[in-house]
């Protein structure tokens, strides 16, 4: 796939099944994430790759978070199933380091680029994905369970696998609606 085709046609797929990337494919996908723009080389990111029992572990963390905030039983029951909407979930994390000239927002941007690069690389190798956040991405219990410090952020849960469905062609956006040209 040509890089420009990938960039012009990337789309998300919520329905995901096996196969998920493994071996050299997974290595390349993660390496693509590590090539994200990175001011002062702080590498302000970390990925947690959840598969097989790792998805149960993540689901259990969601359950505990739901219980802790006093959620209704249906919400709690659903929590354990959320990560199983794909055969793999890559959790993208911003690991913040205090550094003059690189404010927190820049480090969050960098980690978001890294997760998006993972999404694009997965697509380039024939896999599908959807980036999700939801209330668990901001949840204190979830953040603590994943080993995040107070200033760190969960950037997203990238659900990864292969979709049985064809990509839906998205309506084209008009460039001029979003771009001003100064000359
Ligand atoms: C930071 C971030 C968080 C998102 N969180 C969710 C989410 O929790 N649930 C969801 O359905 N889509 C979420 N999305 C949007 C999807 O990833 C996806 O972009 C959207 O469904 C549009 O599809 P497209 O990527 O094919 O244009 C999020 C996107 C971003 C960038």
Distance 149 CA to ligand 1 centre (A): 25
- 137-170 pLDDT, tens digit per residue, is 999 999 999 999 999 999 999 999 999 999 888 8
Answer whether residue 22 is part of any domain: yes
Residues paired with residue 91 on neighbouring β-strands, in sequence order:
48, 157
pLDDT value for 168: 81
Can you say whether residue 134 is alpha, beta or left, with left for phi > 0 and alpha for psi between -120 and 50 degrees?
left
Distance 147 CA to ligand 1 centre (A): 24
Closest C-alpha to 131, from 172, 90, 82: 90
Q: How far apart are CA 146 and CA 92, in angstroms?
A: 11
Is 130 close to ligand 1, i.e. is its CB under 6 Å away?
yes
Answer whether residue 120 is part of any domain: yes
Contact 94, 107 (CB under 8 A): yes
Q: Within 13 A of 183's CA, how many CA atoms are on the CB side?
A: 3
Distance 31 CA to ligand 1 centre (A): 22
Answer whether residue 103 is part of any domain: yes
- 9-40 pLDDT, tens digit per residue, is 999 999 999 999 999 999 999 999 999 999 99
Contact 60, 145 (CB under 8 A): no
Answer whether residue 4 is part of any domain: no
The model's pTM is 0.97
The token pair that represents 104 in the structure block: 């927190």
Answer whether residue 76 is part of any domain: yes
The strand pair at 88-94 and 128-132 is best described as unpaired
Q: How far apart are CA 134 and CA 55, in angstroms?
A: 17
Tell me, what CATH number does 25's domain have? Answer: 3.40.109.10
Closest C-alpha to 155, from 117, 121, 183: 117
Enclosing domain of residue 16? 12-161
- 62-72 pLDDT, tens digit per residue, is 999 999 999 99
**Considering its fold, how many domains does the chain have in total?**
1
Answer whether residue 169 is part of any domain: no
């Amino acid at each position: 796939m040509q890089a420009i085709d990938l960039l012009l046609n990337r789309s998300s797929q919520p329905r995901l099944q096996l196969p998920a990337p493994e071996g050299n494919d997974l290595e390349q996908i993660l390496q693509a994430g590590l090539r994200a723009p990175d001011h002062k080389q702080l590498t302000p990111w970390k990925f947690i790759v959840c598969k097989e029992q790792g998805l149960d572990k993540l689901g259990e963390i969601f359950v505990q978070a739901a219980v802790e905030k006093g959620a209704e039983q249906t919400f709690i029951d659903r929590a354990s199933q959320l990560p199983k909407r794909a055969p793999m979930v890559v959790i993208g994390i911003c690991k913040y380091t205090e550094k003059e000239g690189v404010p927190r927002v820049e480090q969050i941007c960098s980690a978001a680029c890294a997760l998006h690069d993972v999404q694009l690389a997965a697509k380039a190798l024939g896999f599908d994905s959807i980036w999700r956040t939801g209330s668990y991405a901001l949840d204190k219990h979830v953040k603590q369970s994943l080993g995040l410090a107070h200033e760190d952020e969960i950037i997203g849960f990238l659900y990864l696998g292969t979709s049985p469905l064809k990509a839906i062609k998205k309506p084209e956006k008009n460039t001029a609606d979003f771009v001003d040209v100064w000359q």
